[in-house]
């Protein structure tokens, strides 16, 4: 399996992983088990997904059945916005590890560069974006530096082998690098041909920070949430379809290969057993430079995961 070596820990992170976002709780354990049995060795979760306990059950079953060993699986999770205060970072990480049934995460991200008012997990978990009224967004004044220093302590204590950031723009990434004792090992971003983010990709690579792409299929992930934009689906796009036909691959494989060939890890998910397998096989062929350019040329700077749609106070990509 193709991997990238993470700076600092020298740990190998698989370039193709399995994402856990939006997997229903009642299906998560079986889905994780099936993904591991199909050959995936990276699971990308988050406290906000609300299915980490079930994901841990699927992983535990796979370990018990001899499908994998714990050290063979790279488990990623993320710190939610309501836990940014230093005193809450370790609390959240330990709680999430307990949900997974693990002693450590291979990678633990700050999910968003947004601090929200603390919500006691006993009151509501996952806490989500809004307050109890389901409408109000309550910000917290914790600076990223305080949160990052608490993340570094997680690494020191062996709770996270690597720490990273998600949904950070270039200026915030540079800010973290100014004071980080332990630099981010990975930057996770929305990335697909409609949102290439070349300057941010170049910046991360210049500092030796690995990149993971989410939403590799563009609007496909957002249709059911009614958060998509009226643009052609990348999975059905004429340009992507033509390239897929040329190589005898699925459009999903072409989109994943485009990112992989740009040196970016991917974390697709699917409930279809055939697609679960075919997505994993996106690293066994290469796209010609002209085809890479055609896909990159679809860039519109079009972002689907933009929290500013909920509140001006969340305009992190402005």
Q: Kindly give, in sequence order, each residue whose CB lies less than 8 Å from that of residue 297, ignoring residues fewer than 6 positions away.
A: none
CA distance 195 to 61: 37
CA distance 117 to 119: 6
User: What's 290's DSSP letter?
Assistant: H
In contact, 213 and 267? CB cutoff 8 Å: yes
Report the DSSP pairing between strands 12-14 and 74-79. Answer: unpaired
Cβ-defined contacts of 201-206 (< 8 Å, 24+): 201/262, 201/264, 203/170, 203/173, 203/174, 204/173, 205/263
**Catalytic site residue from 49, 118, 194, 214:** 49
**How far is CA 91 from its chain centroid?**
21
- Is residue 49 part of the annotated active site? The answer reads yes
Q: Kindly give, in sequence order, each residue whose CB lies less than 8 Å from that of residue 50, ignoring residues fewer than 6 positions away.
A: 25, 125, 126
Positions marked catalytic: 49
């Amino acid at each position: 399996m193709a991997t990238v070596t993470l700076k600092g820990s020298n740990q190998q992170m698989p370039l193709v992983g399995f994402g856990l976002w939006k997997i229903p709780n009642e299906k998560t354990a079986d889905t994780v088990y099936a993904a591991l049995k199909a050959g995936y060795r990276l699971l990308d979760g988050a406290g906000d997904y609300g299915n980490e306990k079930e994901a841990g059950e699927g992983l535990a079953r796979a370990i018990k059945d001899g499908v994998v060993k714990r050290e063979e699986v790279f488990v990623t999770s993320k710190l939610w916005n309501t836990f940014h205060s230093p005193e809450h970072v370790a609390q959240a990480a330990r709680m999430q590890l307990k949900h997974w049934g693990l002693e450590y995460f291979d990678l633990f991200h700050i999910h968003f560069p947004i601090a929200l008012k603390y919500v006691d997990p006993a009151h509501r978990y996952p806490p989500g974006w809004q307050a109890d009224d389901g409408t109000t967004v309550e910000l917290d004044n914790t600076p990223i530096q305080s949160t990052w220093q608490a993340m570094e302590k997680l690494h020191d204590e062996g709770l996270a082998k690597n720490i990273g950031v998600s949904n950070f723009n270039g200026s915030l990434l540079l800010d973290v690098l100014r004071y980080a004792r332990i630099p981010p090992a990975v930057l996770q971003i929305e990335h697909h041909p409609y949102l290439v983010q070349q300057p941010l990709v170049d910046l991360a690579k210049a500092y030796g920070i690995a990149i993971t792409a989410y939403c590799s299929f563009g609007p496909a992930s957002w249709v059911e949430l009614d958060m998509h934009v009226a643009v052609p689906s990348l999975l059905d796009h004429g340009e992507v379809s033509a390239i897929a036909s040329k190589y005898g691959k699925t459009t999903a494989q072409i989109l994943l290969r485009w990112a992989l060939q740009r040196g970016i890890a991917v974390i697709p998910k699917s409930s279809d057993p055939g697609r679960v397998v075919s997505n994993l096989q996106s690293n066994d062929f290469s796209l010609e430079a002209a085809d890479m350019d055609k896909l990159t040329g679809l860039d519109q700077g079009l972002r689907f995961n933009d929290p500013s749609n909920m509140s001006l106070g969340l305009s992190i990509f402005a």
